[in-house]
């Protein structure tokens, strides 16, 4: 999901842009508001963590431990084939908007062409994750090696699924850590696992470790592509975002708090320019939240990371409090409709009083940018 070639720490970038931004609230997803109202602490996702949202067959699907489907404006738990509602979904992927896939823990890979009726496609109890990229489906298998109760010697293999058939492990792998993400930048496939960034010219591999100058380093937590060909973003486990554009051109930036991993990066079309959302996870209470940044240079535009830190020198921090302040973010999903659309934030709720796992905010397609109602609990 991100790249770097010229190190550009976010703190330095913010300092350089404070004067220009301190009195300017015209740029950013919430350009039209100063403070959002809190969403209701009720509903189908109350105290229920949501890991991702996907759109398929004109419906929305949310992955919790089970799959929730929105029908007629209401959410309900979706039964999967003979499993009914007694299952644990560990992955959801929409491939070319023709087939929706679900990885079911301990069972295998299930598929649906209408989002309602499911069948088991691949029986494989070792499936660890699935991901769609470039109209193709990939799955990762967890292979126990040595001592069953020890994971340090385990391996994860990556496979392509074509015509309902799982390929042999792709060349250049296995992985020494779980697959954390895979994307396609228009010509190249990119995957992250542990502290390694891999690339391949085709879905068949071989996948090789990236050794470009300025490439990401350290442990990685997420990866995302862009509408612009050749651009990807990589999120680090200690708050760093990397952006790659074109042939080995990397920049990076580090958040004000390096204790939170970057769990979600999403490039969103704004009223006049795209905006990059950077969501943070957390292992401590009060962590999480997100930043809005300029995708071209990673300069922070608004800090919605915590409600206790004033980002702009002349503006009270309370003016930038949000419903999502201090909430660990799992993913961002943008559903575009005409010139506008809706943004969904999937959140972790463990240990957070009165938390909902899913929020949304609407885009009206005008210069006022995002709805003044702010984030609304689903």
Whether the per-residue pLDDT at 322 is higher than 90: the answer is no
210 domain residue, yes or no = yes
Confidence band of 234 (pLDDT split at 50, 70, 90): very high
Task: Look at 260 and 41; give whichever has higher pLDDT.
Answer: 260
Helices (DSSP H) in 160-307: which residue ranges? none
56 domain residue, yes or no = yes
Stretch 84-98: mean pLDDT, rounded? 94
Whether the per-residue pLDDT at 101 is higher than 70: the answer is yes
Dihedral (Cα; 321, 324, 326, 328), 10-degree rounding: -160
The percent of residues in the chain predicted with pLDDT above 90, rounded, is 36
Q: How far apart are CA 203 and CA 171, in angstroms?
A: 10
Q: Could you tell me the residue range of the domain that residue 148 belongs to?
A: 6-377
- What's the pLDDT score for residue 328? 86
Whether the per-residue pLDDT at 184 is higher than 90: the answer is yes
- What's the pLDDT score for residue 255? 72
85 domain residue, yes or no = yes
261 domain residue, yes or no = yes
Task: Look at 305 and 19; give whichever has higher pLDDT.
Answer: 305
179 domain residue, yes or no = yes
**pLDDT, averaged across the chain:** 77
Whether the per-residue pLDDT at 161 is higher than 50: the answer is yes
Stretch 148-160: mean pLDDT, rounded? 77
**Dmax (CA) of the chain:** 60
Highest mean pLDDT among 32-41, 42-51, 310-319: 42-51
- What's the pLDDT score for residue 221? 92
- What's the pLDDT score for residue 178? 86
171 domain residue, yes or no = yes
Q: How far apart are CA 60 and CA 224, in angstroms?
A: 20
Provide the CATH number for the domain around residue 16.
2.130.10.10
Q: Is 211 exposed, middle or buried (0-12, 13-18, 19+ CB in 10 A)?
A: exposed
1 domain residue, yes or no = no
- What's the pLDDT score for residue 7? 32
Residues 6+ apart with CB under 8 A from 325: 289, 304, 305, 306, 307
Give this prediction's pTM. 0.82
Judge whether 231 and 185 are in contact, CB under 8 Å: yes
Overall domain count for the chain: 1
């Amino acid at each position: 999901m991100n790249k770097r070639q010229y190190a550009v720490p976010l703190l330095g970038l913010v300092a350089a842009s404070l004067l220009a931004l301190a009195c300017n609230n015209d740029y950013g997803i919430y350009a039209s508001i100063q403070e959002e109202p809190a969403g209701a602490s009720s509903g189908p996702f109350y105290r229920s963590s949501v890991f991702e949202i996907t759109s398929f067959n004109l419906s929305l699907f949310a992955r919790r431990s089970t799959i929730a489907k929105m029908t007629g404006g209401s959410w309900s738990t979706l039964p999967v084939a003979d499993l009914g509602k007694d299952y644990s979904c560990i992955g959801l992927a929409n491939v070319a908007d023709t087939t929706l896939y679900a990885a079911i823990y301990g069972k295998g890979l299930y598929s649906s062409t209408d989002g309602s009726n499911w069948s088991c496609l691949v029986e494989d109890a070792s499936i660890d994750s699935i991901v769609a990229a470039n109209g193709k489906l990939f799955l990762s298998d967890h292979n126990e090696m040595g001592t069953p109760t020890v994971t340090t010697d385990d391996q994860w293999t990556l496979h392509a699924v074509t015509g309902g058939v799982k390929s042999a492990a792709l060349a250049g792998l296995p992985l020494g850590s779980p697959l954390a993400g895979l994307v396609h930048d228009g010509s190249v496939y990119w995957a992250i696992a542990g502290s390694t960034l891999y690339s391949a010219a085709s879905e068949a591999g071989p996948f090789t470790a990236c050794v470009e100058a300025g490439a990401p380093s350290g442990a990685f937590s997420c990866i995302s592509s862009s509408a612009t060909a050749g651009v990807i973003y990589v999120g680090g486990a200690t708050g760093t975002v990397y952006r790659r554009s074109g042939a080995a051109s990397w920049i990076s930036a580090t958040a004000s708090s390096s204790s939170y991993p970057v769990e979600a990066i999403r490039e969103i079309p704004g009223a006049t320019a795209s905006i990059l959302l950077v969501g943070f996870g957390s292992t401590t209470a009060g962590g999480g939240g997100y930043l809005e940044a300029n995708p071209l240079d990673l300069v922070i535009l608004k800090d919605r990371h915590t409600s206790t830190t004033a980002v702009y020198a002349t503006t009270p921090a309370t003016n930038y409090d949000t419903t999502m302040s201090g909430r660990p973010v799992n993913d961002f999903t943008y559903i575009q409709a005409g010139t506008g659309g809706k943004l969904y934030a999937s959140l972790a709720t463990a240990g957070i009083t009165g938390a909902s796992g899913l929020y949304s905010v609407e885009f009206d397609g005008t210069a006022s940018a995002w709805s003044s109602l702010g984030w609304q609990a689903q």
